[in-house]
Amino acid sequence: MATNQQAELLVKMTRTAWDAQNKYLMQFLESVDNQKLHNEIAPGKNTGAYLLGHLIAVSDAMLPLLGIGDKLYPDMEEPFIKSPDKSGHNFPPVTELRQRLDVVNAALNMAFDKMNADEWLGRHMAVSPEDFTKEPHRNKMNVLISRTNHMANHIGQLLLLK
């Protein structure tokens, strides 16, 4: 088992990766106008607006998953997680999506800043205490790692808009 110092280092490395991906996403969004986000990343593929909404919805879903709080935008789950782009859902305007991203990131970062290594290595809310005893890798830090990789993948797709 990792010492507390090692665990703190792992948390710092994971948070640094999360923060870097968020920075890349924000830099990308600063470099494109709202109209550009309405374009498909490739013919017949997702639009930038859909991908942005998807990233917000997935990040928002981390709040209850990590035991931080309730979703801020539960209305985004159906159109951006459960449904594909072009499924007929009305999306919020891109300006509103940009604002929602800021709100979700602020809520996550405030909570992340308060969490210590023991909390990060604790179970997330989608795993029972009994299953967590058998599978301690199903922890909050693992969620952050997977969501960081997920974000990086979609940032790569969004870059195709340029």
Question: In the predicted model, what is the mean pLDDT of residues 13-19?
Answer: 98
CATH of the domain at 40: 1.20.120.450
Q: How many domains does the chain have?
A: 1
Q: What is each CA distance from 42 to 28, 106, 156, 158, in whole angstroms?
A: 17, 31, 12, 10
- What percentage of residues in the chain have a pLDDT greater than 90? 96
Nearest 10 degrees: CA dihedral of 83, 84, 88, 93? 90
pLDDT confidence bin for 4, thresholds 50/70/90: confident
pTM equals 0.95
**Range(s) of the domain holding residue 145:** 4-161
Residue 139 is given by DSSP the state B
pLDDT in tens, 103-132: 999 999 999 999 999 999 999 999 999 999
